[in-house]
């Protein structure tokens, strides 16, 4: 019911005319309006659906698989005892307080109270109690932090009213966790795909190698190489000391005859045959002819990590086990049938031979089709498996401990033991997510920085964070390959949104319509493949595999069989997929170079939807869209009816996709839904990005995240460490379709400033802006900064506790000025103005808080003041005071202090085109130029910003904005579309303006007309978070560091302004010795020392302790740091001696 | 008076020295050249008689809130001075001090105060003095804002649900101080526009504040500016080239390059300028864009014909703003005159009284006066 209501609201909004006067409910002429599928897609999928889908998959499916793999706990002591997990479910988030009546909890409460938004993990167990088998359901084993808006979240499926009741913003995308009150995102991690062969060539060393990282469920990963070394091919694996000649490896895998080896690797290709021949000789030279010999050879070189003490096994057995379970673990070995694995190794070898023959046959590591994205669900699954295994190990240990006791008073009940297992799982999750350290020794995983605090600087920064992808590559490596824009990123990853600097190109963002797959079971897929006529690989010989018309069929990297009719097989397979017989996320494509058909159903592939084109016509017709607008069809129906399908990068490369309907030719297989979806959510804010120089769009992507605006409908209910809000945010005059889809028009960050592009006063050089004082008076650029100040009122172990006190009174009955705003409860009143130095929490701590031997009355102990004082140089107001209890019953007080700021000289502004600038001058309105209508600009921008930046999009934005103002409606600047300049000019002329957007202005100073026409109109300007007030700093005298006695560093410590090396160099070059001396010593750490002319060591009070004399002591002034150095050297047994001489 | 003068433009309008050239990509002759010494043999020294002859002020349009009038025959500096004074130096009253007793609305105290400050108040500022330090009934106007939102008990479903859902400028309650009650009895002080939304409330939320409005000028803060805007534009002039007439088949296109009504097209395709409607021309320069009209027409503006447009915010009637600005200007001139006279008196004092001492030797600065 709730979902239904929500849906209606959503549809009502989408159905409003919003683009070229069209809404979803307007009649559709052709499939031209196919972009309407985009809101439909976002309605089902949403912007952060990848995170949520992944988490849902973990909670609903994967967690059960993990349980199944670890479902039994037995005892070493009592063989009759067993405990079995039969089911696992994750409940809904609830309150942990034992005495709470209302157990329901909202995410916002968790944010405010610094608690974790988590749900219990409940298992069903069966175990033996004495001779009976007991079953218990809903046993709590720990708590799992819940992703917002996932299946298990209370916010899912709620409408705006219900969300408002829970103080939650309907535009908030969810997809993050709340752990100890902070919002944490598990970033998407990019990796090379698993279980696939990657061939690389090292041209400097002349090495060709095929590698494959095997990963099976259970997590153990290992990498196998087939590489050339001195012209011969070897198999290399970590568990084998020495490289195994490939012929030996294949013989060990059961391919005994040389002829068969040759056929499986080189086939009938003469060039391959001749380059493979030496390998057969190598095996013969080593005296390896039979399988047994090969196993012996390998067995003696296998690394044995024997834990169980038992009889030593023969070498061949070791080799057999290693080959079956460790080398290429993902290729199944059933009942010692090594055939599939042999074929796999042979394929790897063949790929090496192919690359040796033709350098073009290597794979591209940076190709997006070879990448897999790891999401929150997968990371949590690994974490859970690790924690669960430890939990079970601990459980087993404590069960053993009890069972070991010879006589027990009562019958042993494992359930009770389980209750006392502590919160290992809960704490493990909380620790991992809040620190971001995924160190799972069991899976050889040690990653730091997996999670990040969700940036709430602006709505866009939060959204941008949810679509971010971080790469595993080291940032320090100076390689261009992984950083470069890959053609295969088209439509999947945003080409503009990447940071500048060291992480450039390594941190990426998803495009608007991308989806990341989750695992799909592969057994049914394999069955379908066989049903469609694939022949089992175990039945094929080398001659058949590499026969002229055969294609090898792979499922998720494992070779399953052969087909002689690849095109027919693929089209049949696709037909089944479009009919919905199996998951729409299974991809299939033909690789003609390798003569393979590849089917992929693994998780982490990037894919996006596309319209299917058949017989030169898109299958989606206007009727379908009519039904879509009437709500009879949803996006999923489009999928189910085979009108739209998801293509992953590999399948996309095997398709012929038309960008527009007019581009459809007979061979076309698909049609793009909308070209602007190739940009991400953040780049989608830029109007006319296709007219800008590309780096400008990238700069805007970085700056859009720093813009001050509205961050959520619940922004005034939040108590964040630092929150920037705009007082009067406006929706942009020039919107894009993306803006509407992501809701930026409802949570904007900027204002439509009337801009005159002209030079004014000289205070506008280097991109500085001139602002109109009257505009500032009227609220332009006004923003608020809210800062959280929190403290705990603690209870100490010795029984004492902190307390709040009212303002202290001196002997005259007066209170000090700084306690003015403290009320009787010891806290500042809400709404009071806080001046610098004022106390807003008058906390007192017991003097003996840490004295654990104290046993007296807690109420009688002496207290000392520990007040919280306001430190900012500018007054603020108390916005909110919150008192609550944390999870461990400490009283938590949060005070939110707000400052309202008006723009001042030096504040940073930016348009949406990567054109940032600081305010250089604030000019009175009467001094501003004005046009015939009497309009004066809010901002004057120097025209020198244009020629070198080439941000033509900004100029068009101005034109479209001006036309929009005159016509009384919003214009569109959507990428690869948007309002046309010609139309905009026409509107201008119709309203009596010059077509070019240039107005005749009159100088406000002289009153005479300006001799040039000025480009004049509205441009959306963002105020960025960098404000002078937070940065300005100067010092004459101030604190010094204790160790070196030099001035402290940094604004926060009221530090000095450093005269650095380069400045020093200048002074040396100039010869200003006295100035140098003054800057570097006298004004810094001047120190008087006594030194002995005799021994050259330092003394004191005119006495040399080394010479035991005061004869030749001299006083000199040196930097304290130098004195420190001498003493530290002496401590290291180095004698620094001063040679003193009169100058 | 307006109709008689504008049907036929005075001949002096066609004097090229009065023209500002409006070209496709630039504006020419923006500054006046008629100053002494510029034209050989011409006397352009200022004369009151000539000034009286050329100066014309005529109101073209007057409404409740705005006025459009022509000011002809002054230099741009003078016209601009009046514009600047109207924007920033004609005093008005605006709320400056806000005493918040209670504010449980979502809008913050300082933001609400800022909004309150910007409300135009309908009080004649001439009745007030500038506040020096203490608030008195002669310099401060006091308002009260007490609004509490409540739910309407028996509200219909689609009607309003709440009482005082919006706090509007009309909710300001004037609290008369001292003699104010009698002075403003006929016209009680209030906001000029009663419908400005100041805040939105929900049941249980309340705003309780006292507001002090004082007199100030727009220079200090835009809230004291008496105008929404005051500006001028120069009178447009379109000169058709008799030697290159507009081709008749393009006459309609030619006419559409100008504001409606400016260009008349006769039935036979002859183009002429309707001088009565010339002032409507917005100077979009569209005609200069088309190759076929090259040389047909020249766009000009008359340098000393200022079409003023003033939008009043309330305290002053629109027509009184210009005289008010003249008053401020005269005040400025008076103070300069006073200062200049004082200076003159000083130097005369020096010249007569201390002349012997000065000639005796070097003065305090060490300068020696040359003979």
Q: Are residues A791 and A642 in the same domain?
A: no
Q: Are residues A63 and A166 in the same domain?
A: yes
Selection from B23, B332, B168 nearest residue A994 by Cα:
B23
Task: Spell out the alpha helix ranges (H) of A192-324.
Answer: 246-252, 258-265, 270-285, 291-299, 315-321
The 3-state DSSP class for residue A726 equals strand
Q: Are residues A247 and A379 in the same domain?
A: no
Question: A994 vs B286: CB contact, 8 Å cut-off?
Answer: yes
Residues recorded for chain B:
371
Asked whether the predicted pLDDT for residue A7 surpasses 80, the reply is: no
**Does an H or E element contain A521, and which?**
none
Task: From chain A, pick out residues whose CB is under 8 angstroms from the CB of B309.
Answer: 934
Question: B27 vs A900: CB contact, 8 Å cut-off?
Answer: no
- Please give the residue range of the domain that contains residue A651: 516-540+550-673
Q: Which of B231, B260, B283, B321 to mutate to test the interface with A (most CBs of A within 10 A)?
A: B231
Mean pLDDT of A164-185: 92
Asked whether the predicted pLDDT for residue B371 surpasses 50, the reply is: no
Is A767 catalytic? The answer is yes
**Fold of domain B18-88+229-244+295-310:** Gyrase A; domain 2 (3.30.1360)
Task: From chain B, pick out residues whose CB is under 8 angstroms from the CB of A167.
Answer: none
Task: Decide if A349 is inside a domain.
Answer: no
Question: B282 vs A1012: CB contact, 8 Å cut-off?
Answer: no
Task: From chain B, pick out residues whose CB is under 8 angstroms from the CB of A1007.
Answer: 76-77, 79-81, 83
Q: Are residues A246 and A185 in the same domain?
A: no
Predicted local confidence at residue A307, as pLDDT = 57
Task: Decide if A915 is inside a domain.
Answer: no
Q: Are residues A161 and A78 in the same domain?
A: yes
CATH number (domain holding residue A835):
2.40.50.150
Q: What is the pLDDT of residues B72-84, one digit of tens each?
A: 999 999 999 999 9
Q: Tell whether B329 is within 8 A of chain A (Cβ).
A: no
Our CA-based measurement puts residue B110 at a distance from the nearest CA of chain A, in whole angstroms, of 7
When pLDDT is cut at 50, 70 and 90, the band that residue A317 belongs to is confident
Mean pLDDT of A90-119: 89
Q: Tell whether B79 is within 8 A of chain A (Cβ).
A: yes
Our CA-based measurement puts residue B25 at a distance from the nearest CA of chain A, in whole angstroms, of 7
Predicted local confidence at residue A932, as pLDDT = 93
Alpha-carbon separation of residue A570 from A526, A581, A651, A812 (angstroms):
13, 15, 11, 94
Q: Which of B25, B65, B98, B108 to mutate to test the interface with A (most CBs of A within 10 A)?
A: B108
Mean pLDDT, chain B, whole residue set: 88
Predicted local confidence at residue B369, as pLDDT = 46
Question: B218 vs A993: CB contact, 8 Å cut-off?
Answer: no
| Chain B (219-248) residues lying within 8 Å, Cβ to Cβ, of chain A | 219, 221-223, 225, 229-234
Question: What's the 3-state SS for A849-865?
Answer: CCCCCCCCCHHHCCEEE
Q: What is the pLDDT of residues A733-777, one digit of tens each?
A: 999 999 988 889 999 999 999 999 999 999 999 999 999 999 999
Q: Are residues A379 and A436 in the same domain?
A: yes
Global pTM value: 0.88
Q: Are residues A1079 and A1125 in the same domain?
A: yes
Predicted local confidence at residue A625, as pLDDT = 82
Q: Which of A60, A767, A806, A1090 is catalytic?
A: A767
Q: What is the pLDDT of residues A348-381, one digit of tens each?
A: 888 888 888 888 888 888 888 888 998 999 899 9
CB A278 within 8 A of CB A365: no
Question: A935 vs B229: CB contact, 8 Å cut-off?
Answer: yes
Structural tokens at position A92 = 């809904």
Predicted local confidence at residue A615, as pLDDT = 85
Among candidates A877, A994, A1002 on the partner chain, residue whose Cβ is nearest the Cβ of B110: A877
Task: From chain A, pick out residues whose CB is under 8 angstroms from the CB of B283.
Answer: 932, 1000
Alpha-carbon separation of residue A831 from A786, A808, B110, B114 (angstroms):
13, 22, 10, 16
Question: What's the 3-state SS for A755-782?
Answer: EEECCCCCCCCCCCEEEEHHHHHCCCCC
Alpha-carbon separation of residue A402 from A391, A395, A405, A408 (angstroms):
17, 11, 6, 9
Domain positions in chain B: 18-88+229-244+295-310, 92-223
When pLDDT is cut at 50, 70 and 90, the band that residue B359 belongs to is very low
Predicted local confidence at residue A2, as pLDDT = 47
Q: What is the pLDDT of residues A541-594, one digit of tens each?
A: 777 888 888 899 999 888 888 998 999 999 999 999 998 888 889 999 999 888
CATH number (domain holding residue A182):
3.90.1100.10
Mean pLDDT, chain A, whole residue set: 88
- Residue A266 burial (C-beta neighbours within 10 Å; 0-12, 13-18, 19+): buried
Our CA-based measurement puts residue B85 at a distance from the nearest CA of chain A, in whole angstroms, of 8
Closest residue on chain B to A927 (Cα): B84
Question: A777 vs B103: CB contact, 8 Å cut-off?
Answer: no
Using CA atoms, how far apart are residues A185 and A507, in angstroms rounded to an integer? Answer: 15
Structural tokens at position A596 = 């393979």
When pLDDT is cut at 50, 70 and 90, the band that residue B3 belongs to is very low
Q: At what angle do helices A270-285 and A258-265 cross, to 10 degrees?
A: 140
Q: Are residues A99 and A173 in the same domain?
A: yes
Q: What is the pLDDT of residues B191-200, one digit of tens each?
A: 999 999 999 9
Angle formed at CA A508 by CA A744 and CA A608, multiple of 5 degrees: 75
Question: A1000 vs B30: CB contact, 8 Å cut-off?
Answer: no
Among candidates B76, B229, B289 on the partner chain, residue whose Cβ is nearest the Cβ of A1008: B76
Query: Interface pTM (ipTM) of the complex?
Result: 0.90
Task: Decide if A698 is inside a domain.
Answer: no
Predicted local confidence at residue B4, as pLDDT = 39
Q: What is the pLDDT of residues A667-686, one digit of tens each?
A: 889 999 889 999 999 999 99
Number of Cβ within a 10 Å radius of residue A787: 18
Using CA atoms, how far apart are residues B187 and A479, in angstroms rounded to an integer? Answer: 78
Selection from A366, A893, A404, A459 nearest residue A649 by Cα:
A366
Q: What is the pLDDT of residues A475-502, one digit of tens each?
A: 666 677 788 899 999 999 999 999 998 8
Our CA-based measurement puts residue B69 at a distance from the nearest CA of chain A, in whole angstroms, of 14
Predicted local confidence at residue A869, as pLDDT = 92
CATH number (domain holding residue A1090):
3.90.1800.10
Among candidates B22, B111, B219 on the partner chain, residue whose Cβ is nearest the Cβ of A924: B219
Task: Decide if A988 is inside a domain.
Answer: no
Sign of CA pseudo-dihedral B164, B168, B170, B174: positive
Q: Are residues A182 and A223 in the same domain?
A: no
Question: B108 vs A784: CB contact, 8 Å cut-off?
Answer: yes
Asked whether the predicted pLDDT for residue A4 surpasses 70, the reply is: no
- Chain CA centroid to CA B151, Å: 44
Predicted local confidence at residue B147, as pLDDT = 94
Predicted local confidence at residue A503, as pLDDT = 85
Our CA-based measurement puts residue A924 at a distance from the nearest CA of chain B, in whole angstroms, of 7
Task: Decide if A634 is inside a domain.
Answer: yes
Backbone angles phi, psi at A799, to 5 degrees: 95, -15
Predicted local confidence at residue A232, as pLDDT = 87
| Chain B (119-178) residues lying within 8 Å, Cβ to Cβ, of chain A | none
Among candidates B111, B221, B233 on the partner chain, residue whose Cβ is nearest the Cβ of A900: B111
Among candidates A898, A930, A1005 on the partner chain, residue whose Cβ is nearest the Cβ of B231: A930
Q: What is the pLDDT of residues A122-158, one digit of tens each?
A: 999 998 887 888 898 888 899 999 999 999 999 988 9
Task: From chain B, pick out residues whose CB is under 8 angstroms from the CB of A930.
Answer: 229, 231
Asked whether the predicted pLDDT for residue B65 surpasses 60, the reply is: yes
The 3-state DSSP class for residue B62 equals strand
Question: What's the 3-state SS for A589-630?
Answer: EEECCCCEEEEECCCCCEEEEEEEEECCEECCCHHHHHHHHC
Choices 2.40.30.330, 2.170.120.12, 1.10.645.10, 2.60.120.960: CATH for B92-223? 2.170.120.12
Question: B88 vs A925: CB contact, 8 Å cut-off?
Answer: yes
Kindly write down the DSSP assignment for every residue of A158-224, as one continuous string: --HHHHHHTT--TT-----EEETTEEEEE-EEEEEPSS-EEEEEETTTTEEEEEEEEE-TT--EEEE
Q: Are residues A240 and A181 in the same domain?
A: no
Mean pLDDT of B17-32: 93
Task: From chain B, pick out residues whose CB is under 8 angstroms from the CB of A777.
Answer: 221-223
Selection from A467, A450, A914 nearest residue A706 by Cα:
A914
When pLDDT is cut at 50, 70 and 90, the band that residue A29 belongs to is very low
Q: Are residues A215 and A317 in the same domain?
A: yes
How many independent structural domains does chain A possess? Answer: 5
């Amino acid at each position: 019911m709730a979902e239904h209501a929500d849906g209606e609201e959503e549809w009502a909004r989408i159905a409003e005319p919003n683009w070229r006067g069209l809404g979803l409910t307007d009649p559709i002429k052709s499939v031209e309006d196919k972009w309407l599928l985009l809101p439909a897609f976002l309605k089902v999928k949403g912007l952060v659906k990848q995170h949520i889908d992944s988490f849902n998959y973990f909670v609903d499916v994967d967690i059960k698989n993990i349980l199944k793999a670890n479902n039994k706990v037995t005892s070493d002591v009592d063989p009759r005892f067993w405990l079995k997990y039969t089911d696992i479910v994750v409940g809904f988030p609830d309150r942990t307080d034992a005495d709470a009546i209302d157990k329901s909890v909202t995410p916002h409460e968790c944010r405010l109270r610094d608690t974790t938004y988590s749900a219990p993990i409940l298992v069903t167990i069966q175990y033996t109690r004495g001779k009976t088998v007991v079953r218990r359901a809903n046993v709590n084993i720990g708590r799992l932090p819940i992703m917002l808006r996932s299946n298990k979240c209370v916010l899912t499926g709620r409408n705006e009213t219900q969300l408002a009741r829970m103080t939650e913003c309907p535009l908030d995308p969810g997809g993050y966790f709340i752990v100890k009150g902070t919002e944490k995102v598990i970033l998407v991690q990019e990796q090379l795909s698993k279980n696939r062969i990657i061939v690389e060539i090292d041209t400097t060393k002349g090495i060709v190698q095929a590698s494959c990282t095997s990963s099976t469920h259970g997590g153990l990963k290992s990498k196998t190489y087939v590489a050339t070394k001195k012209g011969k091919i070897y198999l290399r694996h970590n568990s084998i000391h020495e490289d195994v000649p490939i012929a030996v490896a294949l013989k060990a895998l059961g391919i005994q005859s040389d002829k068969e080896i040759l056929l499986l690797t080189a086939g009938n290709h003469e060039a391959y045959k001749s380059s493979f021949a030496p390998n057969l000789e190598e095996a013969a030279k080593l005296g390896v002819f039979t399988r047994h010999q090969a196993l012996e050879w390998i067995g003696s070189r296998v690394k044995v990590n024997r834990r169980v003490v038992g009889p030593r096994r023969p070498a061949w057995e070791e080799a057999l086990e290693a080959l079956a379970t460790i080398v290429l673990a993902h290729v199944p070995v059933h009942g010692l049938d090594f055939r599939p694995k042999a074929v796999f190794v042979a394929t790897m070898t063949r790929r090496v031979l192919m690359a040796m023959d033709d350098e073009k046959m290597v794979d591209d590591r940076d190709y997006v089709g070879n990448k897999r994205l790891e999401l929150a669900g997968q990371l949590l699954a690994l974490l859970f498996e690790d924690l669960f295994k430890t939990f079970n190990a601990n459980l087993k240990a404590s069960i053993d401990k009890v069972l070991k006791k010879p006589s027990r008073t009562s019958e042993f009940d494992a359930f009770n033991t389980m209750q006392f297992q502590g919160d290992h799982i809960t704490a493990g999750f909380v620790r991992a997510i809040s620190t971001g350290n995924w160190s799972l020794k069991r899976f050889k995983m040690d990653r730091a920085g997996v999670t990040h605090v969700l940036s709430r600087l602006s709505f866009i920064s939060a959204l941008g964070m949810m679509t971010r992808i971080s790469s595993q590559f080291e940032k320090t490596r100076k390689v261009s390959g992984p950083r470069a824009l890959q053609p295969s990123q088209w439509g999947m990853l945003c080409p503009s949104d990447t940071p500048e600097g060291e992480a450039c190109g390594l941190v990426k963002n998803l495009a608007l319509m991308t989806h990341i797959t989750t695992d799909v079971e592969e057994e049914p897929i394999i069955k379908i493949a066989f049903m469609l006529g694939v022949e089992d690989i175990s039945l094929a010989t080398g001659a058949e595999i590499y026969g002229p018309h055969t294609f090898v069929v792979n499922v998720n990297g494992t070779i399953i069989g052969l087909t002689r009719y690849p095109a027919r097989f693929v089209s049949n397979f696709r037909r089944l997929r479009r009919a919905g017989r199996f998951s729409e996320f299974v991809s299939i494509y033909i690789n003609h170079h390798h003569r393979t058909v590849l089917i992929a159903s693994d998780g982490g592939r990037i894919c996006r939807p596309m319209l299917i084109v058949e017989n030169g016509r898109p299958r989606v017709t206007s009727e379908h869209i009519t039904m879509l607008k009437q709500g009879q069809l949803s996006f999923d129906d489009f999928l189910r009816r085979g009108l739209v399908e998801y293509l992953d990068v590999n399948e996309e490369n095997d398709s012929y996709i038309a960008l527009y309907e007019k581009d459809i030719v007979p061979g076309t297989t698909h049609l793009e839904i909308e070209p602007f979806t190739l940009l991400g959510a953040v780049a989608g804010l830029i109007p006319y990005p296709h007219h800008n120089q590309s780096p400008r769009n990238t700069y805007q992507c970085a700056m859009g995240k720093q813009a001050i605006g509205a961050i959520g409908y619940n922004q005034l209910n939040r108590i964040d460490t630092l929150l920037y809000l705009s007082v009067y945010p406006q929706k942009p005059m020039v919107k894009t379709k993306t803006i509407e889809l992501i809701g930026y028009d409802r949570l904007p960050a900027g204002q439509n400033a009337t801009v005159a592009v002209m030079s004014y006063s000289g205070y506008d050089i280097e991109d500085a802006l001139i602002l109109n004082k009257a505009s500032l008076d009227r609220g332009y650029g006004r923003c608020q900064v809210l800062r959280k100040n929190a403290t705990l009122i603690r209870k100490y172990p010795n029984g004492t506790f902190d307390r709040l006190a009212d303002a202290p009174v001196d002997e005259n009955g007066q209170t000090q000025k700084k306690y003015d705003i403290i009320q009787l409860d010891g806290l500042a009143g809400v709404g009071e103005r806080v001046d610098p130095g004022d106390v807003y929490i008058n906390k007192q701590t017991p003097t003996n808080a840490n004295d654990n031997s104290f046993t007296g009355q807690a109420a009688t102990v002496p207290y000392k003041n520990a007040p919280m004082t306001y430190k900012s140089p500018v007054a603020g107001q108390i916005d909110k005071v919150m008192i609550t209890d944390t999870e461990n019953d400490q009283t938590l007080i949060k005070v939110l202090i707000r400052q309202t700021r008006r723009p001042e000289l030096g504040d940073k502004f930016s348009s949406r085109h990567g054109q940032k600038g600081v305010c250089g001058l604030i000019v009175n309105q009467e001094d501003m130029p004005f046009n015939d209508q009497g309009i004066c600009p809010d901002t004057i921008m120097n025209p020198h910003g244009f020629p070198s930046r080439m941000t033509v999009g900004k100029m068009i934005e101005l034109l479209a904005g001006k036309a929009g103002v005159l016509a009384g409606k919003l214009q569109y600047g959507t990428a690869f579309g948007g309002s046309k300049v010609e139309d905009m000019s026409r509107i201008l002329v119709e309203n009596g303006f010059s077509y070019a957007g240039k107005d005749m202005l009159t100088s406000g100073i002289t009153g005479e007309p300006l001799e040039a026409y000025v480009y004049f109109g509205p441009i959306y300007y963002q105020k960025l978070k960098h404000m002078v007030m937070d940065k300005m700093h100067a010092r004459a005298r101030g604190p010094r560091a204790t160790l070196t006695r030099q001035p402290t560093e940094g604004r926060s410590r009221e530090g000095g302004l450093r005269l650095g090396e380069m400045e020093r160099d200048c002074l040396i070059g100039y010869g200003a010795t006295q100035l140098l001396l003054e800057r570097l010593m006298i004004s810094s750490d001047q120190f008087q020392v006594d030194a002995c002319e005799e021994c050259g060591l330092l003394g004191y009070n005119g006495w040399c302790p080394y010479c035991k004399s005061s004869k030749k002591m001299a006083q000199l002034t040196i930097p304290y740091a130098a004195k420190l150095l001498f003493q530290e050297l002496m401590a290291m047994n180095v004698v620094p001696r001063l040679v003193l001489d009169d100058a | 008076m307006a109709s008689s003068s504008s049907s036929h433009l005075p001949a002096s309008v066609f004097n090229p020295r009065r023209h500002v050239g409006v070209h496709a990509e630039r504006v020419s002759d923006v500054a006046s050249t008629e100053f002494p010494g510029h034209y050989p043999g011409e006397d352009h020294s200022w004369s009151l008689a000539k000034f009286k002859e050329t100066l014309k002020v005529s109101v073209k349009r007057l409404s409740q809130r705005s006025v459009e009038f022509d000011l002809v025959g002054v230099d741009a500096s003078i016209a601009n001075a009046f514009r600047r004074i109207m924007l920033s130096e004609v005093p008005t009253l605006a709320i400056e001090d806000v005493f918040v007793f209670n504010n449980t609305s979502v809008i913050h105290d300082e933001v609400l105060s800022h909004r309150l400050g910007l409300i135009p108040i309908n009080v004649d500022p001439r009745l007030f003095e500038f506040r020096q330090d203490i608030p008195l009934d002669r310099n401060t106007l006091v308002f009260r804002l007490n609004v509490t939102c409540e739910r309407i008990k028996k509200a219909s479903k689609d009607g309003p649900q709440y009482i005082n859902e919006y706090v509007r400028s009309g909710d300001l309650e004037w609290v008369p101080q001292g003699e104010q009650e009698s002075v403003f009895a006929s016209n009680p002080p209030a906001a000029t526009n009663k419908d400005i939304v100041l805040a939105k409330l929900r049941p249980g939320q309340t705003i309780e504040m006292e507001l002090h409005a004082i007199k100030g000028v727009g220079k200090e803060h835009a809230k004291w500016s008496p105008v929404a805007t005051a500006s001028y534009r120069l009178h447009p002039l379109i000169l058709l080239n008799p030697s290159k007439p507009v081709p008749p088949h393009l006459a309609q296109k030619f006419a559409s390059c100008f504001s409606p009504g400016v260009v008349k097209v006769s039935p036979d395709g002859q183009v002429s300028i309707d001088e009565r409607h010339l002032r409507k021309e917005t100077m979009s320069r569209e005609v200069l864009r088309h190759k076929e009209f090259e040389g047909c027409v020249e766009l000009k503006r008359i340098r000393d014909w200022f079409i003023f447009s003033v939008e009043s915010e309330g305290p002053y009637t629109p027509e009184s703003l210009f005289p008010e600005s003249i008053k401020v200007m005269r005040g400025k001139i008076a103070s300069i005159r006073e200062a200049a006279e004082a200076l003159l008196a000083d130097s005369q004092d020096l010249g007569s009284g201390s002349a012997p001492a000065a000639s005796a030797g070097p003065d305090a600065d060490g300068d020696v006066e040359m003979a």
